[in-house]
Structure formats: structure tokens, C-alpha cells
Chains A and B, each alone.
Chain A
Amino acid sequence: MSLLAVERLSVAFPGQVAVRDASFAIEAGETLALVGESGCGKSVTAFSVMRLLPPNARVTSGRILFEGTDLLAEPPAGMRRIRGKRISLIQQEPMTSLNPVLSIGAQIVEVLRRHEKLSRRAARARATELLDLVSIPDAHRRVDDYPHNLSGGMRQRVMIAMAVACGPKLLIADEPTTALDVTTQAQVLDLLDDLRHRLGMAVLLITHDLGVVAQWADRIAVMYAGRIVEKASIGPFFAEPLHPYSRGLLGARVDVDTDEHYLANRLSEIPGSVGSAAGEQGCPFAPRCPVAQAACRQAPPPLLELDAVDTGARAVACPVSVAQTGGRHAAAVG
């Protein structure tokens, strides 16, 4: 049984479907990267797992199984026992995701005291330890600082300390480094990876940066216009991306061997824009796709699972590409 299994999840806002039929799974201890252009539904997917969607969003179908229980059917009180304890969330903007009027210590203590039987003093001592764990210098003095006293990178470390405080099994990191400069980015991601190994948690790492994926993820799920279009392990994916969109992503990326700085992919270099997916009957990528055929515009292609031992669990929503690679993969409709 997977730690987290999202099955055919669809989420809609009034007049707009943000996530369509998304399925993916995360095993205990692994890092799954969820990749896609901004606006493709990554955050909405993450918030669905936490059941923290904006009030105007509705889950229209699907199940989210965490350790076998369906989170979408969990009563609010049960959900509150899971949040912060079994599943934690780190958001994109460290500048706004901490409460400006409470000290960082108080904000860490709060989650500790919520889920663990700790005295005020013990919780404070534990908060200091956690700040130390995420390499905040002078933790015992910093614990009384307010968010505005800290830099963006430091705040994101505080967010991480808060997220791992109760030893969650799953950490959802929604573009945790997008707002940070490149050096800080690598430090924060190293820290996350280190903590993942030490605490034995799984990470759902949301990013639009393929460089980050190559360095820190075990598996990848590529999202386009609310759909998951390809799932693969990192090695095979970077060796041979199957979906035309994935190929576009990798092609748009400067050579893998150059300085990490240039790994930052430029998704916009694929001709056209994600906006063309709106109102598309068939494959959402068809309007931008170099290999699109007439059939692609009829109905959205299903995610085909490729059963190949050497490539690991792999799936792609593009029959054209599957046919092209033909002989090496035996395709089975999933």
C-alpha cells in the first residue's frame, strides 16, 4: 500500500476545472516531484491533499488515500489530527506564510502543543532544538524573533522546522524555493533532503524547475493544464522523456552538464501557451504539440501505463509517442 494514493482527483472552481482526473502515488520515504507550468494545478492538488482548498473550490471526483484512509471522507476533527502531525505543508512564499504578529518560537510551539503532550517549557526547548536542526544560527536567541527579523531563506527554514516538528510521514513542499535566490535554494533543498532521510518521511516536492527535480527527486509526475501527462522515475525520464510536453520541457532546458544555475528550465520556450488548453476537446497539449494528429483533438488521451522492467513504473498520456517508441515498451491501457 502506498503512503499516499491520489486517485482520479478532479477539482473545480466556478467556471474552471483546475485539476482533472489526476492520479499518482507516493511511497513511504520517497520524493515525488510534481512538475508543471505555473497555473497548471500543482498547488490545488497539494491543497486538496491537506483539505485546505480555497472556499470556492470543490472536489468534484476522486479519492485521496493516506495510509489507506480516504482523506476526502475524513470528518473535520480527524483531518485536524492529521494536519501538522501526519502530513505537513510548506508554502511557496516564506514572506507571507508566517504570521507577522507572533514570534517564530510561538508558532512552532503551537504545533508541538497541538499534537504532543508537552509542557510550555518543554515545547519551547523543543522549538529551539528544531531551529537548531534546520541550521538557524543562535537558535536559543532567535526563538523569540518575529518573522520580519529574518531573511526569506531563514523564514523558509522556520517553516520547515514547523513542518517537521511532529515527525510527519508526508511533507508537501509547494515550490519551497521559488522565492529564494539560487544559493539559498540549494541549501534549503539540501536541508529538506537531509531531514527526509533522518526522519524517514516522504516528500511531495512541487516545482517548475527541472534542475531541482534532477538533483533531489526519486520520481516525477508532469502536469499540464490540470492533467498528469507523464509519470516516471528520474533516470528513465531524463534519459528519454516520452510525452511531447516533457520533451519540450527538457529541450527548453540548457544542457544538463552546465552550471546548475542554468538548469533552471524555461518552460515558456515551448511555442504557444498553456492558455490554449482552455476549451480543448482532446489532448490539452494538442494546440502546441509538434506530433499532434487528428485523433488527439477528439478525446483526451488516457494515461497509458508502460510495463517495462528496466524503466520502472512509467505512464504517459500520449498514444502517439507510445506508438513511436513502440517496440521497446509493451503498452497496457491503465
Chain B
Amino acid sequence: MRMGRRIATTLRRTVIHAGPTVLGIIVLDFLLLQLMPGDAADVIATEAGVATAETMAAIRERFGLDQPVLTQLMNFLGHLAQFDLGYSPRYNMPVLDMIMMRLPGTLLLMVTALSLALAMGVIVGSVMAAWAGRWPDRVLSVVVLLLYSMPGFWVGLMAVVLFSVKLGWLPSDGNMTIGAELTGFGLVADRLSHLVLPALALASFFVAVYARLTRASMLEVQRQDFMRTAHGKGLHPFFIQLRHALRNALIPVTTVAGMHLGNLLGGAVVVETLFGWPGMGRLALEAVLARDFSVLLGVLLLSSFLVILANVTIDLLHAWLDPRIGEAG
């Protein structure tokens, strides 16, 4: 019951904060995109090869691109209030439909990568802390430093070279085997095998971040008085690390994990492009190249929703880990 109340408080606070944030993000994104040279009409006309002034004007008029910026913004917000993200001039379909097609892919990639990064980071960090200063710590420190300093796309490329090209264990392109009529277990296995490399490439940097953080905060916790209390009860050291130390050490780790979510989404653009993963990141890139602002705005908007949603999850996790959170007001 007490836990329920704390979680409710946390949720309420987050929602109050999230509303103005989202509005701010929309307006800022919109204005920033206006600063970009060129618009969809330019690109469409270029591709069609008929760039007469009349056709350009017609395209602009049709999609409202000829109106003043403020009017465009108001129109956009007005539509948004009705959950209408607009229409893509380039793909000739509603933006929402396009995004919804790509959203599950990105979600799957992000959730997998973040869970992988957290799990591996926490395990590696705990092992490093337990053997601090001895050889397992030293070896892992070097590995972590490498992961920390190598860009995700490079890790991804090397993984493709090793596991796809040389060993042929894992596929390196797309999110499923095209044309294969798979069902049940085979289908899941196929999807998973496509997921492994991009998720690892995306997670690698964050594994390093969380491992270093976990190591530091686990070592910090060991010095606390309550650890001596726990040992003084005659509990097994492994149990003490798990129940008393890790739970306290995870509080700063989850805080940082929350702050990195935006970076993770940014990294998804690169990784999705590299692995031909049909997600929002690649959609965003395509939209930029096509100056398809309505799609780009939609992607940005949904991304900010994703980040907020993930932050809520982290906040809840936090409230669960730390009873001092969410008690007052």
C-alpha cells in the first residue's frame, strides 16, 4: 500500500512535468526545422526533374508550405490536438501511419539494448568491484575502456565482419529473413538472430558507462556502516552484496541510465542505418534527406514521448529501489 502511494506520487509528478516539456519540444523542433535550407517541394521537384516555378508553387500551396511560419505552427498544433501528425508530401501517406510502422522496431531495439546494457554493465561492474585491484578487475577495466572509447557504429561494423562475414553465425541486415515462411519458434529465433548484432552495437558504449558507474558505487557502498551491520548479523557475503550493497548501488546507476536515454535514441539512428533495421531512426534520416518536415517533426515528437516514457519507467524503478523517494507530496 505504501509502495502504491509512493508510485502514484512519482507518476503524478512526472505527468505534471512532462506536459510543458512536450509542448516546448514541439515548438522548438518546429522552429529549428524552419531554419534548414530547402523544403519538400525542392526535393520532390528535383527528383521529378521538372522544376518549373509553377509546379513548385503548386506543391507548396498544396501542403501549406507557402504560409507564414506562425500559421504553419498553429496549423500543426491544431492538428496535433486531434492526434493528427499531418501528411507526408514525399510518401503520400499520413505521418502517423508511417511512424506506427516503424515504432515497434525502434522500441524493440531500444528496450533490448538498454536492458542488455544495464544487465551486462551491472554484472561486469559488480564483478570489478568484488575483485577491485586484482586481475579480474584489471582485465575488465581494459575491456570497459575499449568499449567506452570505440564508437558504436565501429563496434557494429567489426561485429558484422566477425559474426556475419567470417563466421556466418548471425545475419547483418534487416530485422527478419525476407521470404522465409517461418512460424512459432522458428520465427522468434529468426527475429532474435537479427536483433543480436544491432542491439549489441547500440549497447556497447552504455555497457561501459554502467559498468564503471556500478563499480564505483559498489565500492562506495562497502564503506557504509550498514554494510558492517549486515556482516555483523552473520549473513553470507554474497547475499549481503546482492541484497544490501547492490540495491543501494543501483540508485545512482538508474539515475544515469535515465539521463542517457536520449543518447540511446540518437545512437539508434546510426545503428539502424548500419544494420538496415526498419526503425524510426532510419525514418528520421530519410526524412531529413527528403526535407520531409512533417515526418521529421512526427519522429521527433514521438521520440520525445519515448524518452519521457522511459524516464517514467526509470522514475518508477527508482521509487521502488529507494523508499526515500516519493514519500513527501
Q: How far is the CB of B1 from chain A (nearest CB, A)?
A: 9
Q: Is the CB of B225 within 8 A of A146?
A: no
Q: Provide the residues of chain B in CB contact with A96, threshold 8 Å.
A: 224-226
**Are A97 and B233 closer than 8 Å at their CB atoms?**
no
| B321 sits at the interface (CB 8 A) | yes
Q: Are B323 and A101 in contact (CB under 8 A)?
A: yes
Q: A101-B247, A101-B322 are in contact. Are A83 and B234 (CB under 8 A)?
A: yes
With a cutoff of 8 Å between Cβ atoms, the chain A residues found around residue B229 in the complex are: 89, 91, 97-99, 159, 162
B residues within 8 A CB of A81? 234
User: A140 interface residue, CB < 8 Å from B?
Assistant: no
Contact at A91–B234, with CB atoms within 8 Å?
Answer: no
**Is B226 a contact partner of A98 (Cβ separation < 8 A)?**
yes
In the assembled complex, B164 has its CB within 8 A of some CB on chain A? no
Chain B residue numbers with a CB within 8 Å of A111 are 233-235
Nearest A residue to B2 via CB reads: A144
B232 adjacent to chain A (CB < 8 Å): yes
A83 and B233 alpha carbons, distance in the complex (Å): 5
B5: Cβ under 8 A from any A Cβ? no
| CB-defined contacts of B243 to chain A, threshold 8 Å | 102, 110
Q: Are B323 and A162 in contact (CB under 8 A)?
A: no
A83 touches B248 (CB 8 A): no
Q: Once bound together, how far apart are the Cα atoms of A91 and B231, in whole Å?
A: 12
Nearest B residue to A99 via CB reads: B226
CB-based contact B2/A97 at 8 Å: no
Does A288 have its Cβ within 8 Å of any Cβ on chain B? no
Min CB–CB distance B243 → chain A (angstroms): 8
Task: Please determine whether A110 and B235 come into contact, CB atoms closer than 8 angstroms.
Answer: yes
With a cutoff of 8 Å between Cβ atoms, the chain A residues found around residue B321 in the complex are 101
- Grouping DSSP codes into helix (H, G, I), strand (E, B) and loop, the B interface class, with mixed when no group exceeds half, is helix
A99 proximity list for chain B (CB < 8 A) = 226, 229-230, 244, 248
Q: Are B233 and A102 in contact, with the CB atoms below 8 A?
A: no
The distance from the CB of B320 to the nearest CB of chain A, in whole angstroms, is 10
Tell me the complex Cα distance, A159–B230, Å. Answer: 11
Among B225, B244, B324, which residue has its beta carbon within 8 angstroms of that of A102? B244
Give residues 222-269 of B contacting A (CB, 8 Å): 224-226, 228-236, 243-244, 247-248, 251
- How far apart sit A32 and B243, CA to CA, in the bound complex (Å)? 34
Across chains A and B, the number of contacting residue pairs, with CB separation under 8 Å, is: 77
B234 touches A85 (CB 8 A): yes
B212-229 with Cβ < 8 A to chain A? 224-226, 228-229
**Residue pair A84, B233 in contact (C-beta under 8 Å):** yes
Q: Find the residue from B236, B247, B321, B323 having the highest chain A CB count within 10 A.
A: B323
Q: Are B248 and A101 in contact (CB under 8 A)?
A: yes
A81 to B243 alpha-carbon distance, docked (Å):
19
A80 lies within 8 A of B324 (CB): no
**Nearest CB in chain B: distance from A51 CB, A:** 9
Listed residue (B2, B233, B243, B251) with the most chain A CB atoms within 10 angstroms of its CB: B233
CB nearest neighbor in B for A88: B232
Chain A residue numbers with a CB within 8 Å of B230 are 99
Whether the Cβ atoms of B234 and A89 lie closer than 8 Å is no
- Kindly identify which residue among B234, B247, B248, B327 contacts A114, using a CB–CB cutoff of 8 Å: B234
Contact in complex: B323, A89 (CB < 8 Å): no
A52 at the B interface (CB under 8 A): yes
B317 CB to nearest A CB, Å: 13
- Flag A62-90 by CB within 8 Å of B: 1 or 0 each: 00000000000000000111111100110
Cα separation A93 to B234 with both chains bound (whole Å)? 20
Interface string of B106-136 (1 = CB under 8 A from A): 0000000000000000000000000000000
A100:B234 contact, CB within 8 angstroms: no
Give complex CA distance A98, B233 in Å: 12
Residues of B within 8 A of A52 (CB): 228, 231-232
Q: Quick one: CB contact mask for A102-123 with B, threshold 8 Å, 1 for yes?
A: 1100000011001100000000
* Chain B residues, CB < 8 A from A110: 233, 235, 243
Tell me whether A164 is interfacial, beta carbon within 8 Å. no
For this complex, 5 residue pairs linking A to B, each with C-beta atoms less than 8 Å apart, are A81-B234, A85-B234, A89-B228, A96-B224, A110-B235
Other contacts beyond A101-B251, A115-B234: 7, CB < 8 A: A80-B236, A91-B225, A96-B226, A97-B226, A98-B226, A99-B226, A101-B248
Residues of A within 8 A of B (CB): 47, 50, 52, 79-85, 88-89, 91, 93, 96-103, 110-111, 114-115, 144, 146, 148, 159, 162
Residues of B within 8 A of A (CB): 2, 224-226, 228-236, 243-244, 247-248, 251, 321-324, 327
